[in-house]
């Protein structure tokens, strides 16, 4: 038998040090994570040129198919971001929980991949600077076009992620 009945009470949350967000709350993607993915893409893209020439005797050619395909991804993610923002922020409608989580995860994933793609194509373009080859200028400009669309994908992903946020008073209701 216990002498002190107060030990059966749960600990007071005010006594605990601040820690990670409470269960059920997700934090938006951090700028440091996006930077890390962009730097990883930059290094990978820069290494693609010399490694592919060494082991395959030719570096990849960038056609207009790549930026157009990336542009299609950008349109889909931007449309989802706009639609979600209108639903949640303007009309104040609630999304079904699984749809909100799916859109949040899609936003985070596309933001990270957009950073990786943008960094990768910038790295590939930089690897061609100063190289006197037949398609060097073409690879540089098309890579930069892909990188620009990659930045657009990053921004659309972040906007989609932010569009899923609900007001604080909605959490308490």
Per domain, the residue ranges of the chain are: 31-166
Contacting residues for 103 by C-beta, under 8 A, at least 6 apart: 80, 84, 95, 160, 163, 164
pLDDT score for 7: 53
pLDDT score for 20: 56
pLDDT score for 97: 86
Note the residue count of the chain: 173
pLDDT score for 62: 92
Distance between CA atoms of residues 168 and 136, nearest Å = 52
The pLDDT tens digits along the chain (173 residues) read 555 555 555 555 455 555 555 566 678 899 999 999 999 999 999 999 999 989 998 889 999 999 999 999 999 999 999 999 999 988 888 888 889 889 999 999 999 999 999 999 999 999 999 888 888 899 999 999 999 999 999 999 999 999 988 766 544 44
Neighbours of 18 (CB within 10 A): 5
């Amino acid at each position: 038998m216990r002498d002190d009945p107060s030990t059966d009470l749960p600990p007071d949350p005010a006594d605990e040090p601040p820690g990670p967000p409470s269960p059920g709350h997700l934090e938006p993607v951090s700028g440091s994570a996006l930077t890390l993915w962009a730097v990883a893409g930059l290094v990978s893209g820069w290494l693609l040129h010399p490694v592919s020439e060494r082991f395959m005797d030719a570096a990849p050619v960038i056609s207009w198919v790549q930026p157009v395909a990336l542009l299609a991804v950008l349109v889909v993610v931007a449309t989802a971001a706009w639609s979600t923002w209108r639903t949640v922020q303007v009309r104040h409608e609630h999304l079904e929980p699984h749809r909100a989580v799916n859109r949040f995860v899609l936003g985070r994933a596309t933001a990270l991949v957009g950073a990786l793609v943008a960094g990768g194509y910038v790295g590939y373009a930089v690897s061609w600077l100063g190289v006197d080859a037949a398609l060097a200028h073409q690879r540089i400009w098309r890579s930069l076009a892909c990188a620009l669309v990659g930045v657009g994908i990053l921004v659309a992903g972040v906007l989609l992620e932010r569009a899923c946020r609900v007001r604080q008073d909605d959490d308490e209701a």
